[in-house]
Amino acid sequence: MLREDSAEYRVSLEEEFAAWQRSLPAEITSDPLWTCTAFPLATFAADRSWDDLTRLAADPRTASMADQLGRSLGGIGATYTEAYSRRSARDRCRYYEYAIGSAREARDWTFKARRIIGEERTREQLSLLTRIVQLLSVTIVRERPREAIQRKK
Q: Each residue of 34-73: pLDDT tens digit?
A: 999 999 999 999 999 999 999 999 999 999 999 999 999 9
d(CA 112, CA 107): 9
Neighbours of 71 (CB within 10 A): 14
pLDDT at 145: 72
- Answer whether 72's CB lies under 8 Å from 109's CB: yes
Contacts 24+ apart (CB under 8 A), 115-123: 116/52, 116/55, 116/56, 116/59, 116/62, 117/52, 117/55, 117/56, 121/52
**How far from 45 is each of 1, 25, 69, 71, 72, CA to CA, in Å?**
27, 17, 11, 12, 11
Give the mean model confidence (pLDDT) for residues 118-135: 97
Question: Which pLDDT band, with edges at 50, 70 and 90, does 6 fall under?
Answer: very low
pLDDT at 118: 96
Give the mean model confidence (pLDDT) for residues 8-22: 87
What's the pTM?
0.87
